[in-house]
Amino acid sequence: MLHSIQNVRTADLDRLLGDLEQRLARLNRLAARAAPGAVDRVSDVIVSALNDMADRFRSSAPRARREVAALSDDALRLGNDALRKLSREAEQRPLLLLAVAVGVGALAIGLLSRR
């Protein structure tokens, strides 16, 4: 699901960048004409492009919030499942769990001592 969210955001950013490129090309044409009011028109085009981009990002915020909430629900469910499995294993094989804990602790100490 995370991959699809990244694809959607990448596509949105690509569209926004394309739109910005078009507006900047238009800005370049306006500046090339060097008319007396060109500066005002150029600034209007830039402000319009930036406002459009901000509006697009604002409109996608609620969708992103929903996607993050769904991801957090999935993560919570997976964490609970893992905790239940771990507690079952601890009940069935306490010595194995103790050996794994000692191994992880030794690994962590080894990594910290390298620094």
Nearest to 49 by CA among 81, 23, 69: 23
The verdict on residue 81 lying in a domain is yes
Taking the model in full, what pTM does it have?
Answer: 0.39
Per the CB < 8 A criterion, the answer to whether 23 and 49 are in contact is yes
The verdict on residue 46 lying in a domain is yes
The verdict on residue 98 lying in a domain is no
Backbone angles phi, psi at 30, to 5 degrees: -65, -40
SS3 track for 73-101: HHHHHHHHHHHHHHHHHHHHCHHHHHHHH
Share the mean pLDDT of the chain: 76
Q: Which residues span the domain enclosing 40?
A: 2-85
pLDDT 10s digits, 5-19: 555 567 777 787 778
The predicted structure's pLDDT at residue 39: 57
